[in-house]
Amino acid sequence: MISFEKIRSLKGEITVPSDKSMTHRAFIFGAMAKGKTIVKSPLLSRDTIATKDALVACGVDFELKDGDMIINSKGYDSFLEPDNVINCDNSGTTARLLTGLFAPQRKYFFMTGDNSLRRRPMKRVIDPLSNLGAVIHSRRGFLPLMIQPSSMKGGIIEAKVKSAQVKSAVILAGLQLDEPVTYIEKDQTRDHTEQMLKYFGVNLDVNNGVIKVKEKYHLIPTEFTVPGDFSSAAFFIGAALMFENSEVVVKDVGLNKTRTGLLKILNEMGAKIDVLVTKEGGEPIGDIAIKFSFLDGGVIRGEIIPNIIDEIPMLGALGLFAKSPIEIRDAEELRVKESDRIKSIVYNLRVVGAEVEEYEDGFKVYPLKKVNDKGVLKSFDDHRIAMINILLSKRFGNFDIDSIESIDVSFPDFLERLKQIEIS
C-alpha cells in the first residue's frame, strides 16, 4: 500500500516526458530507413523500450548518446528474422504497429506480451492485414501470435474500429508493397504516422479520411525531435483544475490537433486555459497555462472521442469537482485498454465517495457531495489510472493506493515532477 499526504495547490512551470506515440513511430521509421537516423529527446519508458528491443532483434542498431537515440539500419528490406520470441511487454502500440511492419517481411515472427497485453484485442489489426494477404495465426484474436511468410498485395481497407494503431499498421505494411493500399476511416484518429512520415521522405495522399499509400517507399534517414507528450501533460492540466488556487504552465508540449481535444472540451466547460504556440508545423509545439477554475459539466460523445481517448479517465475524475455531472458516451474503446478503464475509473471514484453511473460505452460522474473517510484506490496495473489515483490521494489525503509501479509505462518520474510544483 502507498499513501500520500494532502497538498493544497500546484504552482509553477513544468515539463513532461517526450511523446510516447511519436517515440514509437520515430524508432520504427528510423529502423525502416537505410542509414543513420537521430531521434532527439525520445521517451525511454517500458513501452518504447519494448519497441526498440523488437527492432534490435531484427538487426537494427540503437545507441543512446547524450539523451538522443542514434539508429543505424540497413533498411527494412534487410531486417533479420528474430531468433527468439518478441516480447511487446505492456505496449499495445508496439504489438499492433509491429504486426503491420512485420507482416510483409516474408519471415517468421513470434510475438507476445504481459498478462495485460495478452487480453487486448489483436483481431482488429490481424483482419485488415489478412485482407491484404498476410498470414497471421493468433490465440483467438489475442497475443501470442505468429506471422509467417506470405505474398501480400494492395487493396482497400475500411476502418472497423476508431484506432490510429490499426491505421498505422496498415500504412506500415503498405509502405513495403508494390501495389497501392488505401485506408478509409469515418472518424479521424491521431495522425502522427501521416505527419511524421513526411520527415522520412514519405508524402501520403490524405483526403477527407482516405489515406492512400500509392507506391512502395524507401524511407530516408533524418533527424527528428520528439516534443512533450500531451497525454502526460493532461495529468497536470487536470491537476490544476482539481487543486484550488493552482496556476501551472506546462512547457514544450506537442499540440497536434488530433490529440488536443481535451483543451477544447475544458474551455467549453469554463476552464481558464491559454495556449502559446512556439513552433508551427504539422506537429506544432507550445506551452499550456492553466488556472484553477470551477467547471461546468456536460455530455461528451461522438467524433471527439477518438481524439481524447487517453484523457477520458482524467475527465471522469474532474467530474468530482464540476458544478454539474460530466457524462462520457461512445467510449467503449476504453474497455480494451491496459485495463477496462470504464470499470477502473468508476471503481475508484466510488471509493472516494462519488455517485457514478456506469454504461457499456462510458459513465456519468456527479459532483462529489461527501468524501469517504478512507479507502483503497486500485490501479489495475494501468499507468493512467495509477497517476489519477496519485492525484486523488494527494487531493483528499485519506486514501491508500494498492500499487503505482505501472507508471513506468509512460511517465517513470511522475512523482518527482509533480513534487516540483506542489504547495503543501
Placement of cell 467530474 in the chain: 319
Contact predicate 101/60, CB 8 Å: no
Task: Indicate the residue type of 315.
Answer: L
CA gap 151, 407 in Å, rounded: 40
Active site residues per annotation = 310
CA gap 127, 337 in Å, rounded: 19
3-state SS string for the chain: CECCCCCCEEEEEEECCECHHHHHHHHHHHHHCEEEEEEECCCCCHHHHHHHHHHHCCCCEEEEECCEEEEEEECHHHCCCCCCCEECCCCHHHHHHHHHHHHHHCCCEEEECCCCHHHCCCHHHHHHHHHCCCEEEEECCEEEEEEECCCCCCEEEECCCCCHHHHHHHHHHHCCCCCCEEEECCCCCCCHHHHHHHHHCCCCEEECCEEEECCCCCCCCCEEECCECHHHHHHHHHHHHHCCCCEEEEEEEECCCCCCHHHHHHHHCCCEEEEEEEECCCCCEEEEEEECCCCCCEEECHHHHHHHCCCHHHHHHHHHHCCCCEEECCCHHHHHCCCCHHHHHHHHHHHHCCCEEEECCEEEECCCCCCCCCEEECCCCCHHHHHHHHHHHHHHCCEEECCCHHHHHCCCCHHHHHHCCEEC
Identify the CA nearest to 361 among candidates 332, 338, 386, 390. Answer: 332
Q: Is 131 exposed, middle or buried (CB count within 10 Å of its CB: 0-12, 13-18, 19+)?
A: middle
